[in-house]
């Protein structure tokens, strides 16, 4: 839409408020609202001011004034507000220089797409994330100087088979057996459908929805692929809708990668393909019907995966999921059809347009603008430098003996380790000014001080089981 069309769209839908949304540095949507009379064509050039020093990882307090500039193509009506509200996704700029703010994650995604075009390798990157999430009935947690605990519950939880629910109706998915059972075992069919219908009203195309592997309400809704910045925008709308529909039904949704011990965590497999002039570039005559370009792209992802993990799996909790020998693909190998490899080549369709690679180690705790941009930059580095991904691994990695895995590299074992890899392997992200030294240094410092060190300083509840009597 043009700015003028947005104004007319707001009038047609009788909007009374306009919600301005933008992304903070770690990856949580922020917003403020203004009355609809503020919505004029000039707003899309002049913007609105806010305090950048109050946003995590952003400006110092002596340099706090920032502007949001709404993107007219992002306009949609919020499906949850009691009063009709138009939502606009914004870019962030400096009010003095009128330049894009270097730490605005959306700007980094836009620069990544511009850099792709400048390379002449391709003009479009399509990405299709498959985000998993849990829907719980209750969550409680606390952490202070003398205690720390969490407690989650779900009517679907296998641990509740013996609870007096007046009556307990059974049909609770067994651990690791929640994938695809029909109702009444799957109690979330209608809830997911409501999420899907709401997403469609907001302009997001959906391909499928289903229960996921874990007990206690693990779900997945798959969006149709789109270009990098657009799909990152959609990912934020997706997460917002999942959480709000759950809340509407007095439930709570989380994209935390590993909330339950002893069952599968939640990942976000990301399908990727390069195109040029409307032609798919990943189809060819090499392994699994890939082109040589696609193999080099895989080579770049595998080479830089330890550094990428700091952006694609960016929480300490991510590494409760990425544990060798369990369900998440931590070994850096590629394969067709084999879901135990960290990169898979889906074989559902013979169409060249459907040929893509699926990166399986990210999770939806990431900032999608940063994670998607970083994967593109790693893949492009592979293409530009003809990085050989090595031989594919078609064995089930989970059944291989330890000695067979010695030559297969793996992802970092912790966020701290991933951040160290990012410190030592960042040049591929700096190409074309897509990421900057300031952005990466700020990310590493923020993650170390606010998350890694914060976890180190606190005793874990299980440590009392292990050590209290020593």
H/E stretch holding 30: strand 29-35
- The pLDDT of residue 327: 75
CB 79 within 8 A of CB 241: yes
- Distance between CA atoms of 236 and 366, rounded to whole angstroms? 11
Say if residue 60's pLDDT is above 70: no
Top-confidence residue, 408 or 434? 434
- Distance between CA atoms of 210 and 201, rounded to whole angstroms? 19
Average the pLDDT over 63-78 and give the result. 92
Q: Which of 235, 227, 276 is nearest to 376 (CA)?
A: 227
The pLDDT tens digits for 130-158 are: 999 999 999 999 999 999 999 999 999 99
- Buried b / exposed e across 52-65, counting CB within 10 Å, b at 16+? beebebbbeeeeee
- CA dihedral (53, 59, 63, 68) positive or negative: negative
Local confidence band at 397 (pLDDT 50, 70, 90 cut-offs): confident
Q: Which of 201, 455, 411, 183 is nearest to 315 (CA)?
A: 455
Say if residue 236's pLDDT is above 80: yes
Give the pairing type, strands 226-227 and 124-136: antiparallel
The pLDDT tens digits for 241-279 are: 999 999 999 999 999 999 999 999 999 999 999 999 999
Instruction: Write down the catalytic residue from 271, 321, 360, 421.
Output: 360
- The pLDDT of residue 65: 84
Average the pLDDT over 366-381 and give the result. 98
pTM: 0.96
Say if residue 383's pLDDT is above 90: yes
Say if residue 405's pLDDT is above 80: no
Residue located via tokens 């403020």:
32
The pLDDT tens digits for 280-300 are: 999 999 999 999 999 999 999
51 in active site: yes
Instruction: Write down the catalytic residue from 19, 113, 186, 358.
Output: 358
Instruction: Write down the catalytic residue from 8, 45, 46, 51.
Output: 51
Q: Which two tokens stand for residue 282?
A: 């990943």
130 in active site: yes
Say if residue 64's pLDDT is above 80: no
Mean of pLDDT over the chain: 94
Say if residue 59's pLDDT is above 70: no
- Distance between CA atoms of 300 and 428, rounded to whole angstroms? 10
- The three-point CA angle 210-216-218 to 5° equals 30
The pLDDT tens digits for 100-116 are: 999 999 999 999 999 99
- The pLDDT of residue 439: 96
358 in active site: yes
- The pLDDT of residue 20: 97
Average the pLDDT over 194-223 and give the result. 97
- Distance between CA atoms of 60 and 332, rounded to whole angstroms? 39
- The pLDDT of residue 55: 84
Instruction: Write down the catalytic residue from 269, 304, 356, 421.
Output: 269
- The pLDDT of residue 62: 52
Q: Which two tokens stand for residue 251?
A: 């439930």
- The pLDDT of residue 394: 81
CA-to-CA dists, residue 262 to 288, 411, 440, angstroms: 34, 21, 34
- The pLDDT of residue 362: 97
Q: Where are the beta strands (DSSP E) in 264-421?
A: 268-276, 279-280, 334-336, 343-345, 357-359
CA-to-CA dists, residue 385 to 297, 299, 389, 411, angstroms: 10, 10, 12, 22
Say if residue 379's pLDDT is above 90: yes
- Phi, psi of 356, deg, nearest 5: -155, 170
Instruction: Write down the catalytic residue from 130, 186, 327, 381.
Output: 130
Give the pairing type, strands 268-276 and 357-359: antiparallel
- Distance between CA atoms of 366 and 371, rounded to whole angstroms? 6
The pLDDT tens digits for 308-357 are: 999 999 999 999 999 987 778 888 999 987 667 899 998 877 788 999 99
321 in active site: no
Local confidence band at 63 (pLDDT 50, 70, 90 cut-offs): low
H/E stretch holding 106: helix 105-119
The pLDDT tens digits for 25-44 are: 899 999 999 999 999 999 99
Instruction: Write down the catalytic residue from 132, 233, 263, 327.
Output: 132
List all residues 6 or more positions away from 339 whose beta carbon is below 8 Å from its beta carbon: 329, 360
Q: Which of 42, 98, 44 is nearest to 71 (CA)?
A: 44
Instruction: Write down the catalytic residue from 100, 210, 339, 448.
Output: 339
457 burial via Cβ count (<10 Å: 0-12, 13-18, 19+):
exposed
- Distance between CA atoms of 20 and 88, rounded to whole angstroms? 5
Say if residue 15's pLDDT is above 80: yes
- Phi, psi of 336, deg, nearest 5: -90, 135
Ordered alpha helix ranges (H), 264-291: none
304 in active site: no
Say if residue 165's pLDDT is above 70: yes
Strand, coil or helix: what is 420? helix
Q: Which of 345, 118, 377, 34 is nearest to 228 (CA)?
A: 377
- The pLDDT of residue 340: 75
CB 313 within 8 A of CB 361: yes
103 in active site: no
- The three-point CA angle 28-31-37 to 5° equals 160
- The pLDDT of residue 309: 98
- Distance between CA atoms of 319 and 421, rounded to whole angstroms? 15
269 in active site: yes
CB 374 within 8 A of CB 305: no
- The pLDDT of residue 222: 97
Say if residue 430's pLDDT is above 70: yes
Instruction: Write down the catalytic residue from 19, 113, 186, 220.
Output: 220
Average the pLDDT over 82-89 and give the result. 98
């Amino acid at each position: 839409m043009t700015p003028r069309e947005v104004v007319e769209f707001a009038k047609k839908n009788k909007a009374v408020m306009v919600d301005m949304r933008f992304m903070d540095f770690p990856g949580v949507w922020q917003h403020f609202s203004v009355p609809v009379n503020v919505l004029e064509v000039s707003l899309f050039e002049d913007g609105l001011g806010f305090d950048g020093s109050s946003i995590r990882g952003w400006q110092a307090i002596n340099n706090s004034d920032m502007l949001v500039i709404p993107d007219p193509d992002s306009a949609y009506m919020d499906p949850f507000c009691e009063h009709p509200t138009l939502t606009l996704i914004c870019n962030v700029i400096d009010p003095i220089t009128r330049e894009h703010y270097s730490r605005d994650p959306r700007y980094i995604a836009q620069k990544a797409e511009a850099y792709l075009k400048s390379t002449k390798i391709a003009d479009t990157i399509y990405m299709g994330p498959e985000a998993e999430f849990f829907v719980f009935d209750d969550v409680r947690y606390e952490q202070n100087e003398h205690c720390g605990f969490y407690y989650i519950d779900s009517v679907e939880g296998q641990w509740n088979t013996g609870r007096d629910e007046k009556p307990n109706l059974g049909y609770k998915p067994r651990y690791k057996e929640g994938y695809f059972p029909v109702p009444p075992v799957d109690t979330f069919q209608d809830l997911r459908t409501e999420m899907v219908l709401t997403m469609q009203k907001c302009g997001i195309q959906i391909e499928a929805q289903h229960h996921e592997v874990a007990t206690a309400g693990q779900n997945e809704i798959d969006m149709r692929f789109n270009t990098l910045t657009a799909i990152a925008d959609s990912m934020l709308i997706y997460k917002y809708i999942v959480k709000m529909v759950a809340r509407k039904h007095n439930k709570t949704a989380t994209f935390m990668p590993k909330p339950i011990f002893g069952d599968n965590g939640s990942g976000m497999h990301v399908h990727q393909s390069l195109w040029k002039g409307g032609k798919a570039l990943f189809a060819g005559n090499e392994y699994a019907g890939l082109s040589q370009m696609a193999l080099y792209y895989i080579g770049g992802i595998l080479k830089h995966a330890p550094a990428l993990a700091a952006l694609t799996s960016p929480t300490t909790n991510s590494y409760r999921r990425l544990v060798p020998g369990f369900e998440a693909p931590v070994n850096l190998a590629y394969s067709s059809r084999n879901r135990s490899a960290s990169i898979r080549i889906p074989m559902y369709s013979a169409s060249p347009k459907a040929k893509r690679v699926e990166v399986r180690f990210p999770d939806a705790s990431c900032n999608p603008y940063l994670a998607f941009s970083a994967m593109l930059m790693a893949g492009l580095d592979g293409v530009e430098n003809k990085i050989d991904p090595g031989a594919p691994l078609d064995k089930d990695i989970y059944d291989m003996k330890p000695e067979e895995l010695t030559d297969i590299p793996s992802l970092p074992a912790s966020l701290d380790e991933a951040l160290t890899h990012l410190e030592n392997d960042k040049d591929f992200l700096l190409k074309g000014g897509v990421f900057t030294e300031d952005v990466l240094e700020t990310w590493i410092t923020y993650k170390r001080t606010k998350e890694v060190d914060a976890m180190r300083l606190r005793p874990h509840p299980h440590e009392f089981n292990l050590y209290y009597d020593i």
